[in-house]
Amino acid sequence: MSGETTSDPASYRDLLDPSSLALRHRLGLVGLVALGLLPFTNDLAGLLGLGALGVDRLMVLKLTGALYFAVFAMSWDAVSGYTGQISFGHGLFFAVGGYTSALLNLNWGVDPAIAIVVGMVFAALAGVVVGVPALRLEGPYLSLVTLVAPLILLQLFIVFSDTFGGELGLSSPENLLAFESFETAITANYYLAFGLFVFVLVLLLAVTRSDAGSVFTAIREDEDAVAAAGLDPAKFKVFAFVLSAAVGGLAGAMFVHTPVGNPQPSQLLVLTVSIEVIIASVLGGMGTIVGPAVGGLFYYMFRDYLSGVSWTVPVADVPVSELDLLLFSLITLALLFFLPGGIVRWTIRNGRRALRRGGRNGGERAVPDGGTDPSDGDDTNAGGEPETGTSPLERTLAAYREAFDDESTDDRTDGGRR
């Protein structure tokens, strides 16, 4: 009973076979392809005689920022959405990655590619520094620790402003991808962000759909039962914290080496950034990875859209652009009230109902929550609750009980030989 987990390679091979994927997964792939073609939307529309569709270079630049924000949200979901260890200060890891990489490049001339890797490592170490002591805490006490940590770092940045630039931050470091043509640079940086987005999405989906992901979910449901099964919850929580911090630090480090990002507290560290990441994750559907990815893109782009609306509210006589945060907060509250499971779960649930009304088999299940299912690789319904009658905790216990029985059988066999 070592507590180590294994994953079925066949389940990963199935993910690479489009014919074996459920409808929602195929739709997800279509969405990724659409994201990949966005910079050339106007060109493609021109070939089809549709005219410009409004995806200009400025829009591509905004989408680049949205992709990085979605990666931030996915990194938060890996630890908070799965293990239930709610972090209110995830901006700490974005800032450690971003500032480390920027300082190495600005002060010592380190190549951005190397500086980014070092920034990610420092962010992972920050995950250990915050995650290990937090193992002794639960609930609001853990949340308070994660909330205070970035505030302390921000004060250090202000006190040592000669090094960290204070509240204004540092100047822009060298871009990871540099081109003489500005348009080429925008397109290249978009695909850099898109590549990171896809990489993190696949990585976190693989981890959370493995046996380790089942243990994460089991910890969220009943940590004492996981410990009673012979597993070490602390080891899995530290792993989740470090993985989440490393992903967030990698995104923060790459972000500051693009035209849309700068090593400034307002973009990486202030409390607003951490809260926005949580809102985006909950809005998309926490505990799913896909939900925060969708929520992050939606949150970033919708707020940007509201900030550009010039229409004046009649009674208040104030432009919508000046009320963007208020309006977005009200819309977010309404969405959370009517879609408590998040946009992704709501879409899947209603899609299944529509398929059933149309006479098609709507047996595809909603957002996976760790583990696999023989039918379609999913084990939850649209609300995130188990449909198979076995929870992740029960499946984890059953898997380790089976492993224990196998070990006992082997021991008896070996004893008989002796």
Find, among 363, 380, 372, 284, the residue nearest to 74 by Cα. Answer: 284
* CA distances from residue 281 to 213, 229, 241, 342 in whole angstroms, order as listed: 18, 31, 17, 8
Q: What is the DSSP letter of 322?
A: G
pTM of the model: 0.80
pLDDT, one tens digit per residue, over 343-381 is 888 888 888 888 888 765 544 444 444 444 444 444 444
pLDDT, one tens digit per residue, over 235-275 is 888 888 899 999 999 999 999 999 888 898 888 888 888 88
In the predicted structure, residue 215 carries a pLDDT above the cut 70: yes
> What is the structure's pLDDT at 407?
55
> What is the structure's pLDDT at 234?
84
> What is the structure's pLDDT at 14?
60
Contact status, residue 347 vs residue 330, Cβ threshold 8 Å:
no
Six-digit token string for 366 = 């909603």
Transcribe 344-401 into DSSP letters: HHHHHHHHHHHHHHTTS---------SS--TTTS--B-TTS-BSSS--HHHHHHHHHH
CB neighbours (10 Å) of residue 392? Answer: 24
Find, among 192, 239, 210, 293, the residue nearest to 85 by Cα. Answer: 239
> What is the structure's pLDDT at 28?
85
Which range has the worst mean pLDDT, 195-199, 261-265, 300-304, 329-333? 329-333
Which range has the worst mean pLDDT, 111-115, 216-220, 376-380? 376-380
CB neighbours (10 Å) of residue 408? Answer: 10
Q: What is the DSSP letter of 176?
A: S
More confident site: 164 or 407: 164
Transcribe 252-264 into DSSP letters: HHHHTTSTT--S-
Contact status, residue 344 vs residue 297, Cβ threshold 8 Å:
no
